[in-house]
Structure 1
Amino acid sequence: MAARFPPAGAADCHVHVIGPKTRYPLAKDRRYTPMDAPTADLAAMLKRLSLDRVVLVQPSFYATDNTCMLDCMAELPGSRGVAVLPAEVPGAELDDLHRRGIRGLRVNIATGGAGALDVMRRDIAAAATLCARYGWHVQIFVPSSVLAPLAPTLLALPVPTVIDHFGLVTPADDGSALGELLRLLESGKIWVKISGAYRIAADPFDPRIDPLARRIVAANPERVVWGSDWPHTPKHDLRKPGESDELPFQDIDTKGLLALVPRWLQDDALVARVLVTNPQRLYGFTD
């Protein structure tokens, strides 16, 4: 008999919640304006896909105001979150965030465009200093081109690092960026999310992604998790930064993205590790 899919305890480790914007206004200096994707819509998606656990990630257009995400987490018992904070935060605030389910801090470099490497290193190190209080992780969204120059910084951090969306390594990569990503994984200090496949290929169901995903998992099966990247935020270059006109979400089959996991991995034990065991360890899920 075929194994149940998704397995019990499966987690979506990368989603966003948005609005309603009348209650949770967006940052003025945002790169774009998405539509609303409130808690009820997220809960419906998780139910439709039979996913038992979820990790919310603070999106760029809310900057360091994590209120929308935290309120959503309060309505989804047992959920976990990855926040965005300024460089200096009182210990009491970190204590409160941990109590409410925050388990990591995100440094989003790719959305705004990569700048100076020294600035990236500074921002990542500042987040790691805050994370060290509770052993949280730093989550980074960076272009694949900076993986190699950032590697020494990441490996020296006092906490683990989680790299978003395949490290933005594409199936057409010449092997240099992928090689660096695999070396980081093999160190045991770095995690990778095989999420947002539509960010590395025009078609997220492109079969050329299959061997890429398998190589990433093979490099360290205990350091890979999956995420849908729901609600599939719009491409950022369709409007000028800060424009208020809403952009529609990308038309992506979320359930189809989940179904890619067994296609990519071709092993029920690996699927259970990526969807259940690894997220439980990384985010501290409890039943």
Structure 2
Amino acid sequence: MAAPVPAGWDCHVHVFDASAPAAGAHYRPVARPLAEIEALAAANGCGHLVLVQPSVYGTDNALLLSALRQSPGRHRGVVVLAGDEDAAQLDATHAAGVRGVRFNLVSPVGSAREDAKRLLMQLAPLLRERGWHVQWYVAAGELPLLAQLQAECGLVFVLDHLAGLTPSSADDRAWTALAQLAQAGAWIKLSGWYRLQAERPYGALHPLIRRAATLFGEHMVWGSDWPHTSFAPNALPAYDTLLWPVIRVLGEDAAARVRAAGCRLYD
């Protein structure tokens, strides 16, 4: 008999193959199949993954959807949409396990600010019908915009990579907006430490994690951000070290709840 699937959730991973990246992509990914991250995550207590569409594939979600269909019902996905998808296409992606749409205002091949606002409002009724959320990868300076957009569209927002907070960018405006987002039901993803002007063991981020936790409470999930495209393939950080900041700031019990919380947001 197959071994039971561990209960934990890694809520931010990517899969890659040899597919050509989108025009203007700032890197060409190394092939990283689903089975590789499944084995690594399961060995660390995470049997469920959230596959996030990488910016380098643009709105071509074929690889992500194919990966989700390899393990039906086990994982979830967050896609990037062009805005011309019809209801049948969205229903098919939902059946595969997709539960959110992503906007990336950081990547060179991500969304422009005004384009993201326009597309969000266009998609909002379709997302609402399917119970999808909106995932954002932004710099902390964009948080006031997100607070405004969440209030206007009434959808659940999920904030990638500690909401873009860094030791030098977390000003009062960002924290005010973050509090508004949290009060309106947003979630924050504890992930992407090395994207936030911090080095292992990421102690500079501990005060930010602690303060964010007071705002978001049980609306926090964790992600490894595997396979860490900011690093050379032979220099990846050890998987377990990416949970260290959560454990050290919140404690073992709270960290376990964070890893389990994916079942509420995505399942």
Structure 2 length-normalised TM? 0.89
127 and 273 in structure 1: CA distance in 2 versus 1, 3 angstrom threshold: farther
Amino acid at match of 2:245: L
Amino acid at match of 1:65: D
Unaligned runs of 5+ residues in structure 2 are 1-5
Count of matched residue pairs: 261
Match of 1:274 in 2: 258
Write the distance in 2 (CA, Å) between the matches of 1:225 and 1:31: 28
Matched ranges for 1:54-203 at <5 A: 54-77=49-72, 78-112=74-108, 117-176=113-172, 178-203=174-199
Question: Could you say what secondary structure the match of 2:175 adopts?
Answer: helix
Say if 1:140 and 1:161, in contact at 8 Å, map to a contact too: yes
Write the distance in 1 (CA, Å) between the matches of 2:111 and 2:127: 23
Write the distance in 1 (CA, Å) between the matches of 2:84 and 2:129: 13
Q: Does 1:41 align with 2:36?
A: yes
Say if 1:12 and 1:227, in contact at 8 Å, map to a contact too: yes
Write the distance in 2 (CA, Å) between the matches of 1:113 and 1:92: 27
Say if 1:17 and 1:39, in contact at 8 Å, map to a contact too: yes
Matched ranges for 1:206-285 at <5 A: 206-234=202-230, 248=233, 251-266=236-251, 268=253, 270-276=254-260, 278-284=261-267
Amino acid at match of 2:12: H
The worse-fitting range, judged by mean Cα deviation, of 51-60 and 152-161 is 152-161
Write the distance in 2 (CA, Å) between the matches of 1:207 and 1:100: 38
The worse-fitting range, judged by mean Cα deviation, of 200-209 and 131-140 is 200-209
Amino acid at match of 2:263: Q
Say if 1:18 and 1:37, in contact at 8 Å, map to a contact too: yes
Amino acid at match of 1:141: Y
Match of 2:13 in 1: 15
Unaligned runs of 5+ residues in structure 1 are 1-7, 236-246
Say if 1:232 and 1:250, in contact at 8 Å, map to a contact too: no
Structure 1 length-normalised TM? 0.83
Displacement, 1:133? Answer: 2.1
Displacement, 1:51? Answer: 1.0
* Cα shift readout 1:161-201 (whole Å, capped 9, x = no counterpart): 11110111112335325413531343132111111111112
Write the distance in 2 (CA, Å) between the matches of 1:185 and 1:151: 5
Measured on the aligned residues, the alpha-carbon RMSD in Å equals 2.2
Displacement, 1:220? Answer: 2.0
